[in-house]
Amino acid sequence: MLSHPTTLPGDAGEYVVTQHYDQYNEVEHGTWKTLYEKRMEQLSTHACREYLEGLQVLGMRAERMPVIEQINQTLRTRTNWLLLPVSGFLPGRTFFDLLASRIFPVTTYIRKSDSLDYTPEPDIFHDIFGHVPMHAHKVFADYLQAFAQIARKIDNDADQERLGRLFWYTVEFGLIREGGDVKMYGSGVISSVKEGDNVVNRGCGVHDFTLEEVLDTHVKVDELQPVLFAIDSFEQIYEATKEARKIFKV
């Protein structure tokens, strides 16, 4: 069993909680199972291969909710990332300080069974099922850290908002071209039925990824995404962080 990192950046320690796995009840495990199976109906053919491989490598399954420390054992070996259970939303600086240290904060709470389609706060399904399989992919894992290293150095609100669009259109709502098809890898489309359907049914425009257009495209947080961006490879977004450093002078 792995313990939490002994040294955490900034004020991150104030938000750390313990995953009391034995306190999850069968209703909560059932909620996880319902969400998992519903999304896999679509993701088995519409998620990118790197996501599906990560899901398998990390041992996630529908029947039971994940044990954070078990995932950490594999994740640390593969990409030197760790998951850190936290109480909920973190301040932006704290969040990016953690990511810059290759530590990803995750909640331990799961949405109620009568609110499967929407949760106003992040929950363990969005955080772990949605995000974490991609962290088992080395290039994406390096990209996430590289992005955070830039984000934590920016103090100007306008620049923070503009750089945040890169995170939104990759980590949260990223698409990738694969064998002539457009596949999903961003957690927002991975974990949401409605957002996933919006991609599969071509309810949104799909533009080729360019850093310039991404940084100039405003984020829509309260509606289905009208336009998303497809990369050709994960190396493409890693290389984009080098250009972003020049643009934001960090």
Tell me what pLDDT residue 222 has.
87
Q: Report d(CA 79, CA 73) in Å as an integer.
A: 11
What are 122-163's pLDDT values in tens digits?
899 999 999 999 999 999 999 999 999 999 999 999 999 999
Q: What is the residue whose two structure tokens read 């309810």? A: 203
Instruction: Please list, in sequence order, all residues whose beta carbon lies within 8 angstroms of the beta carbon of residue 112, skipping any fewer than 6 positions away.
Output: 31
Tell me what pLDDT residue 6 has.
59
Mean pLDDT, range 192-214, rounded to an integer? 97
What are 58-110's pLDDT values in tens digits?
999 999 999 999 999 999 999 999 999 999 999 999 999 999 999 999 999 99
Tell me what pLDDT residue 192 has.
93
CA dihedral 92, 234, 221, 182 (to 10 degrees): -170
Q: What is the residue whose two structure tokens read 């990560």? A: 54
* Residue 1 pLDDT greater than 80, yes or no: no
Give the pTM: 0.95
- Is 172 tagged catalytic? yes
Mean pLDDT, range 163-183, rounded to an integer? 97
Handedness of CA 62, 65, 66, 67 (dihedral sign): negative
Mean pLDDT, range 114-118, rounded to an integer? 81
Catalytic residue among 46, 101, 187, 191: 191
Confidence of residue 118 (pLDDT cuts 50, 70, 90): confident
DSSP per position, 28-51: HHHHHHHHHHHHHHHHHHHB-HHH
Q: What is the residue whose two structure tokens read 């980590």? A: 171
Spatial contact of 115 and 32, defined as CB atoms under 8 Å apart: no
Amino acid at site 148: A
- Is 126 tagged catalytic? yes
* Residue 2 pLDDT greater than 60, yes or no: no
Among 98, 84, 89, residue whose Cα is nearest residue 123: 89
Among 70, 92, 94, 66, residue whose Cα is nearest residue 82: 70
Tell me what pLDDT residue 115 has.
83
- Is 121 tagged catalytic? no
> So where are the chain's domains?
12-248
Q: Superfamily assignment of 12-248 in CATH? A: Aromatic amino acid hydroxylase (1.10.800.10)
Catalytic residue among 46, 131, 135, 137: 131
- Is 243 tagged catalytic? no
* Alpha helices (H) in the chain, listed in sequence order: 26-46, 49-57, 68-79, 92-100, 124, 138-151, 157-167, 187-191, 193-200, 211-215, 234-248
Catalytic residue among 46, 135, 137, 172: 172
Tell me what pLDDT residue 5 has.
62
The pair of structure tokens assigned to 7 is 């040294």
Instruction: Please list, in sequence order, all residues whose beta carbon lies within 8 angstroms of the beta carbon of residue 42, skipping any fewer than 6 positions away.
Output: 193, 196, 197, 200
Q: Report d(CA 80, CA 95) in Å as an integer.
A: 18
Catalytic residue among 126, 135, 192, 195: 126
- Helix, strand, or coil here: 16? strand
Among 210, 226, 230, residue whose Cα is nearest residue 218: 226
